[in-house]
Chains A and B, each alone.
Chain A
């Protein structure tokens, strides 16, 4: 079945270091969405990428969609303690079902 693989599962960084999480699929993705879930909270939408090679930025966050639309990444520059949480990628399978990756849990040591 359809699967979106996300790596790494965990990432521990020192405050100020950069962080990247990757999302990979064996099939071409129609679009990719990114969500953040704070500890004890619910997932919150961050961004959606649709176009091949698309790059979008939100302050210290940079989102990329691969040229072949089979992978995506989220990069955080100079992490802060407020970045702590689990980051999920998700794909709309065109049937309306949003398939989530397993998530990358980020911890930031002050």
Chain B
């Protein structure tokens, strides 16, 4: 596609439920990033993929968070047993590789009630 596509754009879920957020990067981009942004806050790094592998998972806040990328393309961020503090915008970005410009998607707004 022309840009990074994320779905759903908005998700309201009950505390304790699992959610899956999807990211479809720009075609040909090997690097894929997930960030979290709480209201009025900066961008918190979650995880980075180069191809299908994730050399850096250090940003995942807890073991309730996991992410995978298959076929070097689409990525899914899964949050299990959601908590209210998980409410945020989850931004996906992709790039051609290290030190290349990264392009962000519109984000998935998650609200845990």
Contacts and interface: CB of A to CB of B under 8 A. Distances in A.
Nearest 7 interchain pairs by C-beta? A42-B104, A102-B42, A100-B43, A45-B101, A103-B42, A96-B98, A92-B99
Interface in A53-110: 88, 90, 92, 94-103, 105
Interface of B: 31, 33, 35, 40-43, 45, 48, 50, 55-56, 59, 91, 98-99, 101-107
Given A42-B105, A103-B43, 4 more contacts: A41-B106, A90-B43, A97-B59, A98-B33
Interface in A33-53: 33, 41-45, 48
B15 to A, nearest CB: 26
A31 interface: yes
A41 B9 CA distance: 12
Interface residues of A, number: 23
A97 B45 contact: yes
Contacts of A88: 42-43
B26 to A, nearest CB: 13
A100 B59 CA distance: 13
A83 B45 CA distance: 26
Contacts of B98: 92, 94, 96
B111 to A, nearest CB: 15
Contact of A96 (B42, B56, B101, B104): B56
A41 B106 CA distance: 7
B98 to A, nearest CB: 5
B43 A96 contact: no
A100 B42 contact: yes
Given A88-B42, A88-B43, A42 B99 contact: no
Interface string A18-29: 000000000000
